[in-house]
Amino acid sequence: MSKTEAAKSAQVVEGAVHVASVAGKSIALTRVKGTVQAFENKCPHLGLALSRGKIEGSAITCPWHGSKFDMCSGKNLDWVNSFVGIPMPDWTHGMISMGKKPAGITTFKASEKDGAVLVDL
Ligand code: FES
């Protein structure tokens, strides 16, 4: 494992996602209570980008079908419940999930040094 510069520290702010390409992977960077967090910019439901998701505290909600994840631990907090932001009734959730079981997101160790954000893939 090696640390790779993914962004400048100033580019990574609380409440927003900065997307960087590191070693061919799309990595999402944000801050939670001031600390940089890094996770794969890929929802485990259908593999779509999480970067435009809604952030609340340490959680991000996938903009496509509403699955929610903790950006620090990667833990799944909620599984598919909407369609492009439109809440869907409970009986549709099984169809929207398309057979995919709840899963977490991949997180990476992130640190800062000399004004740069380093990610350890
Ligand atoms: S792609 Fe994220 S919940 Fe479906």
What does the DSSP 8-state code read for residue 94? H
Residue 60's pLDDT is what?
98
- Stretch 54-61: mean pLDDT, rounded? 98
User: What predicted TM-score, i.e. pTM, was given to this entire model?
Assistant: 0.94
55 has pLDDT over 70: yes
Cα of 46 vs centre of ligand 1, distance in Å, is 5
Residue 118 lies in a domain: no
Residues 79, 22: Cα–Cα separation, whole Å: 27
pLDDT digits (tens, 9 = 90+) for 9-50: 999 999 999 999 999 999 999 999 999 999 999 999 999 999
Residues 113, 6: Cα–Cα separation, whole Å: 11
Take atom 4 of ligand 1 and give the residue whose Cα is closest.
65
Cα of 2 vs centre of ligand 1, distance in Å, is 30
Residue 10 lies in a domain: yes
- Stretch 74-80: mean pLDDT, rounded? 97
| Cβ-proximal residues to 53 (8 Å cutoff; 6+ apart), any chain | 17, 60, 61, 62, 63
- Mutation pick for ligand 1 pocket among 43, 50, 98 (CB with most ligand atoms within 8 Å): 43
Cα of 67 vs centre of ligand 1, distance in Å, is 6
CATH code where residue 86 lies: 2.102.10.10
Both tokens of residue 92? 């549709």
Residue 36 lies in a domain: yes
Residue 12 lies in a domain: yes
Backbone angle region of 98, left / alpha / beta, with phi > 0 → left and psi within -120 to 50 → alpha: left
pLDDT digits (tens, 9 = 90+) for 89-108: 999 999 999 999 999 999 99
Indicate whether residue 64 lines ligand 1 (CB < 6 A).
yes
pLDDT band for 2, please (50, 70, 90 cuts).
confident
Total structural domains within the chain: 1
Residue 55 lies in a domain: yes
Atom of ligand 1 nearest to the CA of 80: 3
Cα of 30 vs centre of ligand 1, distance in Å, is 19
Residue 33 lies in a domain: yes
1 has pLDDT over 70: no
Residue 84's pLDDT is what?
92
Task: Check if the beta carbon of residue 58 is closer than 8 Å to that of residue 68.
Answer: no
The parent domain of residue 107 ranges over 3-113
What does the DSSP 8-state code read for residue 93? H
Residue 121 lies in a domain: no
